[in-house]
Amino acid sequence: MTTAAATVQSRPAPRTGLGSALLGLPLFLKVLVANVIVVLIGVGLGTWFTLTFVASPDGVHWPAVAVMLVVGFAASALINAAVLRLALQPLHALERTVDHVATGDLSARAHPVLFRDPDVERLGETLNSMLDVLQEHRQLLQKMSEQVLAAQEDERKRIARELHDETAQSLTTLLIRLKILEKARTSEEMHGQIDELRELTAQTLEAVRVLAVELRPTTLDDLGLLAALEAYTDSYRSRLPIDLTFSTAGFEDRDSRLPPQVELVLYRVVQEALTNVAKHARATEVHVELSRRPGAVIASITDDGEGFNVEEMMRSRERGLGLFGMQERLALVSGQLVIDSTPGHGTRITARVPLHLTGGLA
């Protein structure tokens, strides 16, 4: 869903003529042409040197032959070394880029060199595209980490505030009521105080239970994904003026369980999707479906809300990070997230988790 950021690089001006054609040859042809030229020059010079200085009526001049061999070998080695050094410049440039990336510098890019090679240049462009996507992915992860840390702090503040404002105050009221109970003079007054204490204790227990369920739904651990989603959608329906329906398919045996990690991931994906619907979609109807098919379990959330442009939303700092977080959760269980949305035509979010990669049913 994400798109890589465009990177503009300066390129050398195109060359024309024979020189440009030779520079643009693949590495194999460069080396082949260079060696052919060296051999041709060596044969020509060797023949001329032999006819001019070696062959004579007095016989073969062996010192001259030795000089010719040494000079010819040295010249051939030097020319080939120079040509290969130039020809391998693109590979060395890629090697330097990879070394920079290995040290953590994702801003490094492979730039064109003078003695370029078409095949290696295409490899460099592919590497640059991969680095663009990787750098964007890292930025999203950093933003997501910041959001997770901020959310953790907000959640801690909320829990602390609720414990202080509700639970602590209720316990304080209980202590006061107990002191009042000690001073009760009649049985009727004592029974009245006991009834009030019983009601206040029940309210406190319910508040603590709701807080615990928000932090971690015990239904998910005790009864499984199906029961947990039924409970969550019922609670969601009672709190918001949205026509929410929940259906299942392929779960004839309600006692069968998915792997714990799969259940947790799908529960959080549905939770995040419904939270987005409540905050942004302005929908009137929402349908949640959980289905099990051969080799996979699929959760889909469909609403008739405003919809959005998927690519633009994935780049958004707020809602885009929520969708990105859903993708990251699913990646932990080798799952996939498909987002189908059009402005003005609602949204459908589909989370698919393969069961054969997670060990099947528990």
**Do residues 32 and 112 share a domain?**
yes
pLDDT in tens, 300-315: 999 999 999 888 887 6
**Do residues 210 and 222 share a domain?**
no
Please state the rounded mean pLDDT for residues 50-60: 63
pLDDT in tens, 95-138: 888 888 888 887 888 887 777 777 778 888 888 888 888 888 78
CA angle 96–99–100, rounded 5-degree value: 90
Which residue has better confidence, 54 or 185? 185
Please state the rounded mean pLDDT for residues 224-252: 91
Residue 69 has pLDDT above 70, yes or no: no
Q: Specify the pLDDT at position 6.
A: 37
**Do residues 156 and 283 share a domain?**
no
Residue 318 has pLDDT above 70, yes or no: no
> Quick one: pLDDT band at residue 156, thresholds 50, 70, 90?
confident
Q: Specify the pLDDT at position 327.
A: 87
Q: CA 311 → CA 130, 213, 276, distances in Å?
A: 18, 34, 17
Q: Residues with Cβ < 8 Å from 250, sequence gap 6 or more?
A: 291, 292, 293
Dist CA 335 CA 287 (whole Å):
21
Please state the rounded mean pLDDT for residues 219-248: 90
Which residue has better confidence, 287 or 20? 287
Strands 243-249 and 347-354: unpaired
b/e for 279-299, b at 16 or more Cβ within 10 A? ebbebeebebebebeeebbbb
Q: Which among 168, 200, 215 is the end of a domain?
A: 215
Q: Specify the pLDDT at position 188.
A: 82
Q: Specify the pLDDT at position 114.
A: 73
Residue 43 has pLDDT above 60, yes or no: yes
**Do residues 234 and 326 share a domain?**
yes
**Do residues 80 and 59 share a domain?**
yes
User: How large a percentage of the chain has pLDDT more than 70?
Assistant: 77
Range of the domain at 204: 146-215
pLDDT in tens, 120-131: 788 888 888 888
Beta bridge partners of 303: 286, 347
Q: Specify the pLDDT at position 47.
A: 66
Residue 58 has pLDDT above 80, yes or no: no
Structural domains in the chain (count)? 3
Domain assignment present for 11: no
Q: Specify the pLDDT at position 26.
A: 67
Dist CA 84 CA 177 (whole Å):
93
Domain assignment present for 13: no
**H-helix or E-strand containing 269?**
helix 260-276
**Do residues 127 and 196 share a domain?**
no
Q: How far apart are the first and last CA of the chain?
A: 32
**H-helix or E-strand containing 243?**
strand 243-249
Q: CA 104 → CA 133, 141, 251, distances in Å?
A: 15, 15, 47
